[in-house]
Amino acid sequence: MQKKTHAVNPFYCGLTVHRYTEYSKKLTKRLRAALITDLHSTIYGNAQEPILKALQSHRPDLVLMAGDIADHKVPHKGTLLLLEGLKGQYPCYYVTGNHEHWIHQIPDIKKMFTGYGVTVLGGQTIRTTIKGQPLIIGGVDDPHAFTDSHHSIKLDSRWKEQFWRCCSRTSPAVYSILLSHRPELTKYYRDSGFDLIVAGHAHGGQVRMPGCSGGLLAPHQGFFPRYAGGQYALGTTSLIVSRGLCINRLPRIYNPPELVLVDLSPIS
């Protein structure tokens, strides 16, 4: 029924769930990660109930938030409602997006997330074990952490330092995940040492036509973006890009918002 609704109504903006599977010899246990990006403090239903119920239904083992959960033009209420619903339910990890940096209150934003038990990453990696499975989880700030320009496309050396520091802490024996808001930086992501990189930012290309795999336009990629939403192989590294959850900005056409689930599975 959901797929039929999408096809009939190009402006359908109900929450959808998109599932991907990643296989690795480094995994000995099955895990499920939920990827949340680009909420932009949108409020779904009553107190984010559609998102929280979808999570309860699909039972992820960890939640990855890859930036733009808050927004510089929208009150934080939607963000706070999500964090309140997630608190104590799942191990949660977060990196900043460009819109959070445009608030110009990053210490307060990060403190808001940590206050709800979220692990905030910005050039760090952690080693953890979830359901008996060792993991390395790293994260980098959005490149706008290092520039005052809303339109800068030049990568500051400090972002590169964050990224390479995270890469240096991967292990050939432990499955590793990197959170990074920006999907287009594949020059760096390819064969980075991370097994999986998760991103958002592109909003699915905003407009997608039936039968076409890509979107129309994405920030920092321009028209017909290559990495607008989906699963991509970058050598030994996989990239999964969420189309995001924002419905309070530009209209989405044939591009409903999505909660992404990533099943991490051993190779039998």
Report the range of poorest mean pLDDT among 17-21, 69-73, 89-93, 246-250. 246-250
- Decide: 33 and 62 in contact? Cβ < 8 Å: yes
Rounded average pLDDT over 47-63: 98
85 to each of 48, 55, 61, 150, 156, how far by Cα in Å? 8, 10, 15, 31, 35
Q: How many domains does the chain have?
A: 1
Helix, strand, coil: what percent of the chain each, to 5? Answer: 25, 30, 50
Whose tokens are 């769930």? That residue is: 17
Distance separating alpha carbons of residues 39 and 196, to the nearest angstrom = 22
| 144-154 pLDDT, tens digit each | 888 776 666 67
pLDDT at 82 over 60: yes
Look up the CATH number of the domain holding residue 113.
Answer: 3.60.21.10
Among the listed residues 256, 204, 258, the one whose alpha carbon sits nearest the alpha carbon of residue 13: 256
pLDDT confidence tier of residue 200, bands split at 50, 70 and 90: very high
For the chain, what is the mean pLDDT? 91
Please check the confidence at residue 266 and state whether its pLDDT lies above 80.
yes
- Mean pLDDT across the stretch 216-226? 76
- The pLDDT tens digits for 157-199 are 999 999 999 999 999 999 999 999 999 999 999 999 999 999 9
Instruction: Over range 78-88, report the average pLDDT.
Output: 98
Asked if the model's pLDDT at residue 8 lies above 70, the reply is no
Side chain identity at 74, as an amino acid letter? Answer: V
* Residue-level pLDDT at 68: 94
Range of the domain at 81: 2-266
pLDDT at 204 over 80: no
Query: For 256-260, what is the mean pLDDT?
Result: 96
Determine the pLDDT at residue 212.
Answer: 66
Contact 28, 133 (CB under 8 A): yes
Question: What pLDDT score was predicted for residue 4?
Answer: 47
Q: What is residue 217's predicted lDDT score, i.e. its pLDDT?
A: 64
* Whole-number Å distance between alpha carbons of 102 and 107: 12
At residue 70, the pLDDT reads 95
Which carries the bigger pLDDT value, residue 203 or residue 21?
A: 21
